[in-house]
Amino acid sequence: MVIFAFWNGCYDQLWCRNYINPILTFFWPLLVIFPFSLITYKMKEEVFVRWWKFTRWWTPLSMVIITLSPQYADGFMMAPSPKGLAVVGTGILYIFISSIIILRTWLRVRKEGKELK
């Protein structure tokens, strides 16, 4: 929340729009990836590797989708922005798919570990 307050609060100042806003925009995807990195940190390496393979192709794909989506909706002024829907949609899909990948891989690795003992 602090980032949102800072990001919105500095919009009126020119130096902030020119320097701080691009930096925050660049690092914004890392804020989504970071919690999953922490979740997989204490798990077996196979869980992290499986999730990381997915993240490496998902991040550029979602950036392309967001970049290619139009800024404004055609026609009706109250329609949601297609770019905003792309941002939210790719974010929700990323969280959902990452959670499934981590959970399935962790359960499989845990089951294989019990069978070996």
Mean pLDDT within 52-79: 81
Mean pLDDT within 12-37: 69
* pLDDT single digits (tens) 46-57: 888 898 899 999
Q: What pLDDT score does 17 carry?
A: 63
Sign of torsion, CA 100 67 82 20? positive
Say which DSSP state 79 is in: S
Mean pLDDT within 22-49: 76
- What residues does each domain of the chain span? 29-116
Q: What pLDDT score does 2 carry?
A: 41
Q: What pLDDT score does 93 carry?
A: 93
